Amino acid sequence: MSAQLTPNDFKISRIVAGMMNLSAWRMSTPELVNWIHACLEMGITTFDHADIYGGYT
């Protein structure tokens, strides 16, 4: 399921996968790739890789 943000065809998934501090997850590259593929299989196609979020949490 996706949400349309603009009048054109640009859409994002309704659920966004947070990837803050990805290196701290201590997963191997193949494990991370598998995680991304699992997200895609569930329809999650939008990934947030910000270093910090509001309130510095």
Q: Tell me which residues are annotated as active site.
A: 53
First to last CA, the chain: 28
User: Which segments within 1-57 are labelled E, that is strand?
Assistant: 2-4, 11-13, 16-18, 46-48
